[in-house]
Amino acid sequence: MDAGPRGLTPEPGDTGRRSGAAGWRRGPARLGWRLLGRRGLKVATPALTAAGILAISLALAALVWLADRDERLERQQALIKDSLWVEQTLRFELGADLGFIDRLALDIGRGSADASQVAVRARHLVSNSPEIVRLQWLDADDRPALAVPPQTERTAPPPPLTVALELARAGGRAVPSSDFVLANGQAGFALVTPIHRGEAYAGALVATVSLSALLSEHIPWWIVERYRVTVVDVSGRELAARSRVAVPDGSISHTIALDPPARDLFISISTVAAKTNLVRNSLVATIAALALVVAASFLALHRHIQRRIAAESEVRAQHAFRKAMEDSLTVGMRAKDIAGRIIYVNPAFCRMVGFAADELIGQPPPMPYWVPELLDETLAVYRAVLDGRAPPDGFEITFQRRNGEWFDALIYEAPLIDADGRHAGWMASVVDITDRKRAEELSRQQSEQLARTARLVSMGEMASSIAHELNQPLSAVASYATGSLNMIRSGCSGEDIAPAIEKIAEQAQRAGQIVHSIYNVVRRSEPQIAPLDIVALIEEAAAFIAPEARKYGVEVVIRNNSDVNAVPGDRVLLEQVLLNLARNACEAMARTAAEDRRLVIKVERVAAELVFSLADRGPGIAADVLESLFSPFVSTKPEGMGMGLCICRTIIERHHGRLWFEPAEPRGTVFRFVLPLGGMQ
């Protein structure tokens, strides 16, 4: 029955505590195998652990070495790239300077530039190229003909410049000199460009270049933060530097020749940032973190499973909550993919348009709720949304329900971002504003009717003053008519009577203008926006204000400080605003001393707006009505209706302007309103 040694395979029912010889024979064998297995496991475990640690250590060492090598290669490549950028930048600037000098030398040689023109162009070069510290014009004998800036005292040219002049004379082309010390003690070199008249040498233009200025003006800050940029000669001697920071040990350097346009000069760029061990430290921290993760992985796995079960339950609950919340919304929600197809609609949107969700999802344009008569306009808006040009404050559009009824909708479009942060489409919230627009239209009509009523009330209050205003031209007409009749009876000629007849015509025309203005104020209801002459608007308003001002003994001062001639608006409505504000100001100064009763009406432009201000010297606005002064039925006068300022603000806001008030100095109140100039500034 046994397949091998008796101690290896326990028999059924064997508990290790059997009696008899057979049991004792099998017991030691089984015990030995158990001891051997445990001892072998104890011996093998440290060996396997050590082997694993050694393998991990070798792998990490290789990773650290590779990371360090890659880091050095990246720094070297970045240094070379930035060095090439610096070298190209300096070559470009010096090339541009040399091109300017070549053109100037060519114009001098042709005779198309005299000394004054050369001086102007030289000053332009020196002022726009800080690296050029001086530009000299030398004649054929190398004597200075012109220097910018002027040279206070003449000194012998340095030997490198003399050599460059000889090379330019012999070669007939621009030659850079070797480096030499400038007057300010800094290193520099010269660009020598010969001047020829025909085939003869006629002199040279010598541009002195400061190496320090060249580096400081054309090396940007982001290069200086990372590198130390220097100019060195063939021997490695530093001539100029952009950064004073010392180069640390282990930094990387790169040198590029700057010849041409400079001669025997090199650009040397060295890194100034200290060598970092961030990669190594990160790897060490990663190793420690991985060790902790491995040690706690089994416990974390169990906890993760428990948390996942709880999270899935919570997600299901949140999904059910969001679904219930979306179903209870009264605002329509509609989502489209990046191609414009509908991918989601909520019940509110379905109720709004009268279509079921399965009839809309996946539907490409034209949508079934679009108005056929407005298809082109709706399609243009649809394409603008897909192009990302949807207005951030929403837009209005007209849709059609399933039963054919039109309704107005206000739509806010926002990008739809998926879980990976990618733009996956557009989410729109749709609000049915049909009832609101009807209410706004009714409110607008009521406001217009109220404004018309207020104008009628204002005209009733002005009846006595206007009657006095009409009495003056009519009295003048009667007087001139009587005089003319007397002159006719006395046998005067027509030439003598003509001036009186002209006066009668002028006074009759004035009376007609007053009557016509009153008629316009009474009959107008719809605003008529048109360009208004500012001077005419003020003068006509002043004619209305004059009777009230005389009634209260108020001096009216008009100051037109505007530099524009016209403003878009409705003449009658704006005159009503000016009249109401002026009448309030006159009534406010009823108890002011007679010599202080002054109303200043000022017009001025501020940016793209025209500002009207009316300043009185009354007692000011009471503190208890400051916040509600523009509210309906709020008045500071016992007999007032409390509608004047409310109507004024409505009129100004319909002109897309603002109306407010401020305390005046030393006393009184200033009412201001602004009107946008549109395209008339």
Q: How many Cα atoms are found within 13 Å in the side-chain-facing hemisphere of 234? A: 6
pTM: 0.36
**Residues 504, 585 within the same domain:** no
Q: Which long-range contacts (CB under 8 A, 24 or more apart) does 240-244 make?
A: 240/186, 240/187, 240/210, 240/211, 240/212, 240/214, 240/215, 241/212, 241/215, 242/215, 242/216, 243/272
**Residues 657, 551 within the same domain:** yes
Q: Which residues pair with 247 in a beta bridge?
A: none
**Residues 473, 538 within the same domain:** no
**Residues 413, 450 within the same domain:** no
Instruction: Give the SS3 label for residue 552.
Output: helix
Q: Is 198 contained in some domain? A: yes
Q: What angle do CA 477, 479, 485 make, to 5 degrees?
A: 100
**Residues 251, 355 within the same domain:** no
CA 263 – CA 190 distance, rounded (Å) = 9
Tokens of 312: 């899935």
pLDDT of residue 273: 65
pLDDT of residue 543: 77
Question: What's the full length of the chain, in residues?
Answer: 681
Q: Which domain holds residue 460?
A: 439-520
CB atoms within 10 A of CB 492: 13
Q: Which of 540, 628, 626, 526 is closest to 582 using CA atoms?
A: 540
**Residues 513, 567 within the same domain:** no
Q: Is 26 contained in some domain? A: no
Q: What is the CATH number of the domain that holds 536?
A: 3.30.565.10
pLDDT of residue 29: 44
Q: What is the CATH number of the domain that holds 423?
A: 3.30.450.20
Instruction: Give the SS3 label for residue 420.
Output: coil
CB atoms within 10 A of CB 131: 22
Q: What is the pLDDT of residues 608-663, one digit of tens each?
A: 899 999 999 998 888 877 777 777 665 666 555 566 787 788 888 888 899 999 99
List the chain residues with pLDDT less than 50. 1-39, 41-43, 464-465, 468, 524-525
Q: Are 135 and 148 in contact (CB under 8 A)?
A: yes
**Number of folded domains in the chain?**
4
Q: Is 8 contained in some domain? A: no
**Residues 477, 607 within the same domain:** no
pLDDT of residue 634: 59
pLDDT of residue 458: 60
Q: What angle do CA 62, 67, 70 make, to 5 degrees?
A: 125
**Residues 234, 377 within the same domain:** no
